[in-house]
Amino acid sequence: MHDPQFLYLRHGQTDWNLEQRLQGRCDPPLNETGIDQARHAARAVASGGVDVIITSPLRRAHQTAQIIAEHTSARIIEVPDLVERNFGALEGKRLVDIAGAGASGYDIALRDDLPGNAEPWDTLCARAEHVVTQWQHEMARQDILFVSHLAVMTALCDVLSIPRIDVKNAHPYRFQKLKDRWDLNFAFR
């Protein structure tokens, strides 16, 4: 029996990432760089093995999962609760217009003072924790890769008491429970 662990991957790049637009539930596809990133991630993930890919239904995540599945023969399961945080009226806006010069996705993703129709941070945290716990329990003997989004991974770090990191597009990360705490590292170098 090994310590509980799983892989997590943020989707590949989209044009909105390049334009520094807040994507949220909007659904832009991967751009050519994002497709290349997903292919590179697929080769890395294939070398370590993955049995099942649990993905957000948003196109950018699902496209990333499909590219990885082609290289690994892993089956894909789409899970609505892995969808990105709803940022309400801020979705589609440029980060600089929302938070000023030098703003990053983190500057918005973690805020609690978003417009009233945005998803509360604690709701996102509960959703992320539930998904991972459920699938780890249901597929305890399988190697799982979750493909999702920046805010979802950051919420997961919060609930597992892991320091937040600058999550790169299409970089596989390994969450691993070591005794009584969770750890996070790049899965493959």
- Residues annotated catalytic, as ranges: 11, 84
Contact status, residue 72 vs residue 46, Cβ threshold 8 Å: yes
- Decide the pairing of beta strands 144-148 and 75-78: unpaired
Q: Across the strands, what pairs with 7?
A: 145, 174
- CA dihedral sign of residues 126, 128, 133, 135: positive
Contact status, residue 147 vs residue 63, Cβ threshold 8 Å: no
